[in-house]
Structures are given as C-alpha cells and as structure tokens.
Chain A
Amino acid sequence: MSKGDLISKGNGFDLLDQFEHILDSDPLIDEVGFIHPSQFVILNKEAESSKQQSKDEIWSSDNSLDHEDSNFWNRDHKLGISAHVLLPLYKAAKDAFMDSIRQYKIVENLPGASEDEMDSPRSSAMESEVMKHSKALLLLSCDFGTAWNSRKLILSKKRHMSLFSDELLFSGLVLSYSPKSEQAWCHRRWVIKMIAGQYSAVQEIVGKESDLVEKIAERSKMNYRAWNHRCWLVFYMTREQVLLELNKSRKWAGLHVADNSCFHYRAQLMLTILDLSWHKQEDETSDHDVEVYQIWKEELLWNEDLIKRYVGREALWLYRRFLSLYWTRHFATNVGDATHQSRHTSCVADDVNIFLDNELRLVNSCSTIPDNKFEDFHAQSIHAATYILWLTKQLPKSQEIELKKKLNAGSLLTMMNEACPERSPLWSNCLHGSI
C-alpha cells in the first residue's frame, strides 16, 4: 500500500497543524516548493553535511530525522512540501479556512456588532484563524480568490502599515514560485492602493515593486501579469522615477531582446515623459522638451544598434515602429508644409525627410540576405520590410506619397508576396489601400 493511501482525513488535520506550525515558527520563509518524496533524502543528506556549521532545525513529520516519513522540509527559510501529502493537506486547509471565514462573517454581521466588539479578544482570535488558514491554503492553491479576499477584509479593518508590509512579503512569496498568479498580483495592487491612500511611503514602494517585477521577469519570461503590474506602477511614478526606470530597465532590455513586454514597458515610460512635457507648467522652461527630444533620439540610436546586433528579432522592430511613429509626429517637421504640425510638436524639430531617409537606409541594409541564408537573416529582411510598410501607412498623406516614391513600394510588395505569401492579402491591402 502506498503512503498516499494511508493518509486519512484525520491526519489531514495533523498535517495542517504541522504545516501551520512551520509557517508560524519561520516567518522569513522565502521559497516554497512541492517536492517528490525521493528528493527528501537528497535534501537531508545535503543538510546533514552542512549540519556542523548550522544550527537550523530540520522539520519532518514526527520532528525527528526519520527521512522516510518526511512530509515537510524546512531549512534556511526554504520550505519543501511532499507531493504525497498535497491532496489531504489541501482538503484540510480548505475546510479549516472555509469554517473560519464563515464564523468570522457571522460575528461581523451580528446586528449591533460595534467597532468595540470587533476589537474584542474573541474577534481578534477569529481574525488570526482566518489569516492563518488562508495563508496555508494560498500556499497550496495560489489563485483561490476567496482566501485572498478574506485577507483584504481583515486588513481593511485594521489598516496598519506593518500588516500591509507583511502582505507584500506574503504575496511576494507566492509569486516566487507561482509568478503568473493573477490573484497574487491583484492582491499587491490592492495593498499598494491602500497604502497610497493613507501613507506617503508609496514612491519608495513603487521603486521596490518595479525591482520585484524585474527579478520575477528574469525567471519567468514574457510574463504578461508581471509586466502589466509594472506598467500599472507608472501611474504612481514621479518624473524623476520615470527617468530612473528608463535608465534601470535599459540594460535588462538589451540582454532580453526578444522580450516584447519589456519594450512595451519602455514605450510606456517614454510616452509618460512625453506626456509630462506637454503638460508642463507655464513657468518651466523648454529644458524638458530638449531633454525628451534627446532621450527619444538616443532611444532610436540604441534600438538601431540592437537591431543590427541581434538579427531577426520581432520585438526590436515593433519597438522601432513605436519610436519612429512618435518621432515623425512630435519631433520632426516637414519643411515647407506647416499643415500637419501638431499642437504638440516640440520646439525642437528635425526634418522628417532626413529621418525617413535614414530609416530607408536601415531597411535596405537589413534586407540583404547573405549567401548562407540563415533563417535569422530571412526574418530580419521581412521584419525590416514590414516595418517600413507599416510606418508608411501611418504617415500623413504627403509624407506617405514621398516615402512611397523612394521606397519603390511596388517591387517591395512583390518581394513580400514571395517571402511571406501567407500575408499576401495584407500586402495587397497596402498596395490598393493608401500606398
């Protein structure tokens, strides 16, 4: 009979006790994992070999070193849970949580339950039960929304900064092994909104939060939930923080050139500084305009450099679409044609034709496929051609006609129809459309 079969509902509660005891006695746990029972032997061997140097305690089911019986492994603030006990442990945690929140809500909703009563020892004992069981449950099932909600309910009554900080630590722990947990990210936003409403520490938190996303993004590539969280943070940033973020995320982006989410994040930061320079105060000089112009110019150069260095990366070309489109709209003027100078056109401006000539040179240089015909070069030439066609379609009419002439759009489309026949309806739309 396997070990799993021997675990009855009764010792599900023992397991939960044991689990919650570990969580309570080691509040600094920073890593949780579900491990196969055979891994216990390996982990314990490693632990024993370094036992002399460390006084940390090793937890096992009967608090001894009987490795065969281990359900939990806890050392150096790392917690391993045996995959064999997950089902009974989950069931016990869920039952305990559901009971505790039900009882808590009954007391909370009693007619005439005053603030005082909610502060009574009985009530706070119930609160800690809910917090304890929801924690255990969420470590096993990170998207159990009702458990996250129960914590919000209790925190919203207490409103203590230290509790909010604990909550950021706890959701951070969940994200360390479930980086895509939508509920954990959502919980953090709720906590930050609560802090922002009451305390002034929000700028500092935003900076730390951004670092957390970067740390998680390193292990969990193109994690939409994580990057969405980072984009959400931009609303809370000062201009200085936005500029700092642009600097900080640059190196990371250069090392992760296929990560479209990171380039989208940069696009958001770029748009935010542009937006702030439009809405600047009367008394501010045009220094900001010059600064934004400079930042944009550098970003275009940096992107061009990456495109040439990392051949065939879709994300880099998509980012260039964004950068170029805004450049033509806000920093470039069409000499001799004042009609489409937008209200927001910066006081610093370059000739749009010079800019577009440079783009054409870049596209041409990326369209030569070497004889060895590496797939990356093929992809590069398609991305380059698609980029210039896309940009052409977004330009005002007069610039579009001008660029079309220089581009020899007809032969470019023939090339695209051959290279990428699946998209021929799109290419012919370009031809018969406005190009």
Chain B
Amino acid sequence: MYCDCKLIILMLQMGELAVDKHVKYILSVQKKRKDSFEAVVMEHLTMNGAYWGLTTLDLLGKLDVVDSEEITEWIIQCQHESGGFAGNIGHDPHILYTLSAVQVLALLDKLNVLDVDKVSNYIVGLQNEDGSFSGDMWGEVDTRFSYIALCCLSLLHRLDKINMEKAVNYILSCKNVDGGFGCIPGGESHAGQIFCCVGALAITGSLHLVDKDLLGWWLCERQVKSGGLNGRPEKLPDVCYSWWVLSSLIMIDRVHWINKEKLVKFILNCQDKDNGGISDRPDDAVDVFHTYFGVAGLSLLEYPGVKAIDPAYALPVDVVNRIFLGR
C-alpha cells in the first residue's frame, strides 16, 4: 500500500494527464476523416480506429460524448454476410476488424444487436487443423489471429465451439528459446505478439504453461534508460509497448521487475499538451493509436483518474465484468 501511495504522489508531481485535450483530439480525428490523403489511406482500418478512440474515451470517463446509436448502426453496416466484420463499409471482412467491432459493441453495451452464432461461426470456420487461426478466407496464419479468435469467442460466450487444446498447443509452438513468442513457429519474439499469446493463454486459463521468469526477463529488458519500453532488442522505445509489454508483465505477475515511475514519466512526456493526443516518442506527431496505448498504459499503471483496463481483454474492467458477471 505504501508503495502505491508513493507512486500516486509521484505521478501527480510529474504533471497532469491532459484529459480534456485528449478527448477533444479524439473527437476531432473522428470528424476530419475525409479531407487529406493521409487520412483517407487509413480508411480500411476505421474499425480499429473506432476501438482505439472509443476505448480511450471510456478510460477517461467520457464515452457519453459520442452517439452510440450512430456508431452501432455503422458497425452493423460493416458486417459481411459471412458473419465477419470489415474495417469499413464495402470492404472485405477480416478477423482483425471482427474483434474491434465486438469490442466496440461491448464498450457501448450493444452486444445484443449481434447474431452471436453468426459472428462466432465465422471465427470458428477460421481455425485450421493444427489449431492455428487464419485471418480471413485467404489463409494467412498469425498468433495475433489466435488471440483475436479466443478473445472474441470468450466475449461472446462461445469458447466451447472450437478445439481449445489445439489452439493452445499452436500458440505454445510459437514460443522461442528466449521465452517470447512470434507470429508463427520460429518467428522472432515481439512484444506485440507476446501480448497476443499471453493474452490468449490467460483467456483459456493456460498461463501455467508459460515460463514466467524467462519471459519476464525478456520483457523487463525492454525498458530503456528513458523509462520507455521497446518492442524488441536494439529498438527505440515507443508508447505502444507501454501497453503490450506492461499488460504481459501483469498477466504473468512480473510487473514489479520494471520501473513504473520512469514509465509513467515517459508516457506523460509523449503528450501534446497544447492540442491533445499522445505520440510514439516525445515531440513526435500524435495519432489515435498511440493515444489509446498511452492512456491504456497509464490505466495499467493505476494513474489517478483513469479507469482500470483488463490486461487480457483490452477493455475497461467494468465492461468485462458486465459481460462475465452480469454487472
């Protein structure tokens, strides 16, 4: 307890999180989507953007500023006849956007609009013989898709529809000698992939299969002098790993192996205090992706005034409780 109080006092001394500015920034991004080339070339992943932006708003306690009916209607229009969701209206479905759609509906407490069996059948149909999951009908395999499938089915209470043992074994086959995980068996360890694999193992109750000291060692070596975390050895720190590394460390109970104060300071230094938003590194340009990961990282670090986020489902704890405990 003493430690936590000390941390909170330190956080407040470090300077505030510019909550109102960040809310304003996220709302502005949502509006000016069509007037620049840089914005339109991202239109295929608008569904992910919606998840990043809306989760940030919810963590900051400001989800009520958006029109949830309008968003829900748009999400329904992104659903394909196969049951999967696309990143935007008229695009092809993919498991990446399907999870974001389910997560946003969960945030908005609108899961009831879904034909749950239709969505879950889409995901079930993507499991391969070896337990892995394809991202869509074209067959690319990646442990990210395993996480997405398991997370999505769990949120929809349909985990029993797949071969879980095979799914878990495939993830374990992607484990490296350094304790980390890659996209495929033999793929290089990457903090983002590690989050996916550890998250999937957490969701399926299989964390006992992870060598926590070995993985924890690799993860805590991601903290660099500035306090920020990188995603791989020899890389620069980046705010997005505040989420991926930190959530993994929490799930395997090794978060005390890094310096939390220095990480909080690093994230706060990446804020644009004038116009809102958070960037990858101090003084770089902000975007929604890094704003979400910065705020989510601060949430995991128990920053005062930010709602708690679940490290496996990547949704606010109250949303997860609503789904699994019926509030």
* Residues in chain A near residue B186, CB distance under 8 A: 231, 234-235, 268, 271
* Residues in chain B near residue A265, CB distance under 8 A: 188
- Among the 9-residue stretches A208-216, A253-261, A360-368, the one with 4 or more Cβ atoms under 8 Å from chain B is A253-261
Most buried by A among B37, B40, B87: B37
CA distance A234 to B234 in the complex (A): 24
CA distance A141 to B182 in the complex (A): 27
Interface size class of B (residues with CB under 8 A): 35 or more
CA distance A261 to B221 in the complex (A): 16
Q: Is the CB of B213 within 8 A of A231?
A: no
* Contact A222 B234, CB 8 Å, known A227-B188, A228-B184, A232-B184: yes
Within B127-144, the residues touching A (CB, 8 Å) are: 136, 138-140
Q: Is the CB of B220 within 8 A of A423?
A: yes
Within A317-350, the residues touching B (CB, 8 Å) are: 318, 321-322, 325-326
A246 at the interface (CB under 8 A from B): no
Contact with B along A243-267 (1 / 0, CB 8 A): 0000000000000001111001101
A98 at the interface (CB under 8 A from B): yes
Nearest-Cβ distance from residue B173 to partner chain A, whole angstroms: 13
The 8 Å CB contact of B234, one of A189, A232, A258, is: A258
CA distance A318 to B189 in the complex (A): 12
Within B254-290, the residues touching A (CB, 8 Å) are: 256-259, 262
CA distance A189 to B45 in the complex (A): 22
Q: Is the CB of B232 within 8 A of A426?
A: no
Nearest-Cβ distance from residue A126 to partner chain B, whole angstroms: 18
- Among the 9-residue stretches B13-21, B88-96, B304-312, the one with 4 or more Cβ atoms under 8 Å from chain A is B88-96
The 8 Å CB contact of B41, one of A83, A140, A322, A386, is: A140
Q: Is the CB of B234 within 8 A of A314?
A: yes
A67 at the interface (CB under 8 A from B): no
* Contact A429 B257, CB 8 Å, known A222-B234, A228-B183, A231-B184: yes
Which A-chain residue is minimally distant from B231 (CB atoms)? A224
The 8 Å CB contact of A321, one of B138, B178, B232, B259, is: B178
Nearest-Cβ distance from residue B208 to partner chain A, whole angstroms: 18
CA distance A189 to B142 in the complex (A): 12
The 8 Å CB contact of B36, one of A87, A228, A258, A271, is: A87
* Residues in chain A near residue B233, CB distance under 8 A: 260, 314-315, 318
A145 at the interface (CB under 8 A from B): yes
Q: Is the CB of A193 within 8 A of B139?
A: yes
Within B233-259, the residues touching A (CB, 8 Å) are: 233-235, 256-259
CA distance A228 to B141 in the complex (A): 12
Within B51-95, the residues touching A (CB, 8 Å) are: 86-87, 90-92, 94
The 8 Å CB contact of A429, one of B36, B37, B178, B213, is: B213
B contact set with A: CB distance below 8 Å:
36-37, 40-41, 44-45, 86-87, 90-92, 94, 136, 138-140, 177-178, 182-184, 186-190, 213-214, 216-217, 220-221, 223, 232-235, 256-259, 262
